[in-house]
Amino acid sequence: MTIRIVIADDQALVRGALASLLDLETDFEVVGQTGRGDEVLPLVQTTAAHVALLDVEMPGLDGLSVARQLTESGSSCRSLIVTTFGRPGYLRRSLEAGASGFIVKDTPSDQLADAVRRVASGLRVVDPALATESLVTGDSPLTARETDVLLSLRTEGRIADVAAALHLSEGTVRNHLSSAIGKTGARNGGEAVRIAADNGWLLG
């Protein structure tokens, strides 16, 4: 059986490189490409793809949300997260969203091809080192509001701007930020943002 593949990545060079590598395999056919997450489900439906390769961070809809959308739609297309962001929090959330696999972009081409075949056959594929790290790191300790504050702090930069963006008082923002700093073991808000992002807890 020829495995029909859709590639979703917001970087055209990455999409092209993945397509070129996969097209070298005699049992693969790349039937669609897109740079937006919200275009994946329609593309899968029109191409009858078996496997969708998804980046994590994309405009329109992030890769983890796309994986969930494919699962909830009842599509038979399986999703494989292929990302630069090899973060344990992303791995855990991708599997919870229904993704069949999670690998990083520097995976050797033969291992990528093997991962696609295994996912297409109904198996689950996870980078072993990342799986171990995910077990050690565990779930995010942050509440939804603490996550919102750190996400906003990353883009807004100032407490007053975060408060305005989230429609909260500055005192409430400081309380949530203080809690997030304590939970991440950070020394300040900027470090809390970095630690949470490195663990994959801040995908907006």
Question: 4 pLDDT exceeds 70?
Answer: yes
Q: How far is CA 34 from CA 6, 12, 39, 60, 61, in A?
A: 8, 9, 7, 11, 12
Thinking of the domain 3-137, which architecture would CATH place it in? 3-Layer(aba) Sandwich (3.40)
The CA distance from 67 to 80, in Å, is: 8
pLDDT in tens, 73-129: 999 999 999 988 666 677 778 888 999 999 888 889 999 999 999 999 999 998 766
| 66 or 126, which is more confident | 66
Domain limits, CATH 1.10.10.10, in the chain: 144-198
Residue that the structure tokens 């050690």 belong to: 136
- CATH number of the 144-198 domain: 1.10.10.10
Statement: residue 6 has pLDDT above 50:
yes
Using CA atoms, how far apart are residues 123 and 127, in angstroms rounded to an integer? 13
* pLDDT at position 107: 86
Q: Which residues of 187-201 are buried (b: 16+ CB within 10 A; e: fewer)?
A: eebeebbbbbbebbb
Q: What are 138-191's pLDDT values in tens digits?
A: 567 888 899 999 999 988 878 999 999 999 999 999 999 999 998 888 889 999
Beta strands per DSSP E along the chain: 3-8, 28-34, 51-54, 78-83, 101-104, 125-126
- Do 37 and 58 contact (CB within 8 A), yes or no? yes
CATH 3.40.50.2300 positions along the chain are: 3-137
- Given this model, what pLDDT does residue 95 score? 84
Average pLDDT of the residues in 36-46: 97
- In this predicted structure, the answer to whether residue 204 has a pLDDT above a threshold of 80 is no
pLDDT at residue number 130: 63
How much is the pLDDT for 106? 84
- Of 75, 51, 52, the residue nearest 1 (C-alpha): 51
In this predicted structure, the answer to whether residue 21 has a pLDDT above a threshold of 60 is yes
Looking at residue 112, its pLDDT comes to: 93
User: Is residue 203 very low, low, confident or very high in pLDDT (cuts 50, 70, 90)?
Assistant: low
Q: State mean pLDDT over 61-79.
A: 95
Q: 133 pLDDT band (50/70/90 cuts)?
A: low
The pTM for the full model equals 0.68
Q: For position 94, what pLDDT does the model report?
A: 86
CA distance 170 to 176: 10
Q: What does the pLDDT read at residue 199?
A: 76
CB 45 within 8 Å of CB 69: no
* pLDDT computed for residue 128 by the predictor: 66
